[in-house]
Amino acid sequence: MPGIVRTVLGDIAADQIGVTYMHEHLIIDSEIVAKDFAHIHLPSQSEAIEEVGLCKSHGVRTMVDCMPTGSGRSALKLAAISKATGMNIVATAGLHTDRYYQPTDDLETMSAHDLAQVFVRDIEVGMEGTEHKAGQLKVVTSQHVITNRERRLFEAVAIAHHKTGAPILSHCEHGKGAIEQIELFLELNIPIHKVTMSHTDKEADFGYHRQILSSGINVEYDQSLRQCDLAVPPSALLMKAMVDEGFINQIMLGTDGARRSLWSSLGGSPGLAWLYSGWSKKLLEIGFTQAQLDTIFIDNPAKALTLDMHKSAASRGQ
């Protein structure tokens, strides 16, 4: 029996997700972002429908929206985008970096245990008082030294993961801090194969990536759109090197395409669809096979996004 992936419109079989983008930002709708980060303010459902529709027309079938709890996520808008386009959308519980919150927000002041209950509700009941559920958890770090806020978040996500079986996405600010994150995941008894790290290809050091992948953790490389004009992009060379070293089953791709300047529907370039329509061609040019691309775009996401239903069932039986 195939595993289950939880989308905003309900659970689907993991073997049905198709070509998957693992790190997207389709809606970012908050007063903080509108005021302080206008270049990533993406509140429009209709604009997202147009951009996601372009991705669907190029063969993309699933997109993982990585804006987590209380940071500009909108369950209703994500569900509407999914309905309008036919794109599977996986939403995210957890927290982002503290710049997306007020210091007085409840999410910033509650205990790890109480925070975990918020995340469990997002995954098992619905986000923001709706029936639309999140399908993954998110943690973040901003430097090599993990802060008290970040440790509280990791502890909350560990509790929520062990209760729900939801997979985990991690944010590595500027691509750094991955090794320290791995150590904390292990300390908290989080199965490393259920974690996917983001943004690490901002650091092109092959030795760093070899150390990351040797732990058994997954990565999603997401700098492709920012390297679209380069003949031989560093992230492509990094991917090839890591695949050649035997890590192909741990590598996935996303766009992290939050910037308005990247969206075709907003007059930007190269557009989110380019990850599959254009980046794939660059990878083929440097020696990837179509079978390898299928592993990276389809097979690996299907495994990474699968809920551990044994944990979820066990928690319901308690």
Specify the pLDDT at position 2. 73
Do residues 311 and 4 touch, judged by C-beta distance below 8 A? no
Residue 8: inside a domain, yes or no? no
Specify the pLDDT at position 7. 98
Specify the pLDDT at position 143. 86
Residue 5: inside a domain, yes or no? no
Residue 2: inside a domain, yes or no? no
Q: What is the CATH number of the domain that holds 89?
A: 3.20.20.140
Specify the pLDDT at position 313. 55
Residue 44: inside a domain, yes or no? yes
Residue 317: inside a domain, yes or no? no
Residue 98: inside a domain, yes or no? yes
Residue 150: inside a domain, yes or no? yes
Domains identified in the chain, total number: 1
Report which residue type is found at 281.
K
Q: What are all long-range contacts of 85-88, with beta carbons under 8 Å and residues at least 24 apart?
A: 85/49, 85/52, 85/53, 85/56, 86/56, 87/52, 87/55, 87/56, 87/60, 87/61, 87/62, 87/63, 88/5, 88/7, 88/9, 88/12, 88/17, 88/18, 88/61, 88/62, 88/63
Nearest to 85 by CA among 48, 132, 53, 62: 53
* Residue ranges making up the domain that contains 209: 17-309
Specify the pLDDT at position 13. 98
Chain mean position to CA 125: 21
Do residues 86 and 56 touch, judged by C-beta distance below 8 A? yes
Task: Report which secondary-structure segment, H or E, holds 207.
Answer: helix 206-214
Do residues 83 and 9 touch, judged by C-beta distance below 8 A? yes
Local confidence pLDDT in tens for the 318 residues of the chain: 579 999 999 999 999 999 999 999 999 999 999 999 999 999 999 999 999 999 999 999 999 999 999 999 999 999 999 999 999 999 999 999 999 999 999 999 999 999 999 999 999 999 999 999 999 999 999 988 999 999 999 999 999 999 999 999 999 999 999 999 999 999 999 999 999 999 999 998 999 999 999 999 999 999 999 999 998 899 999 999 999 999 999 999 999 999 999 999 999 999 999 999 999 999 999 999 999 999 999 999 999 999 997 665 555 554
Report which residue type is found at 85.
T
Residue 11: inside a domain, yes or no? no
223: Cβ–Cβ under 8 A, 6 or more apart, which residues? Answer: 199, 201, 202, 233, 234, 235, 256
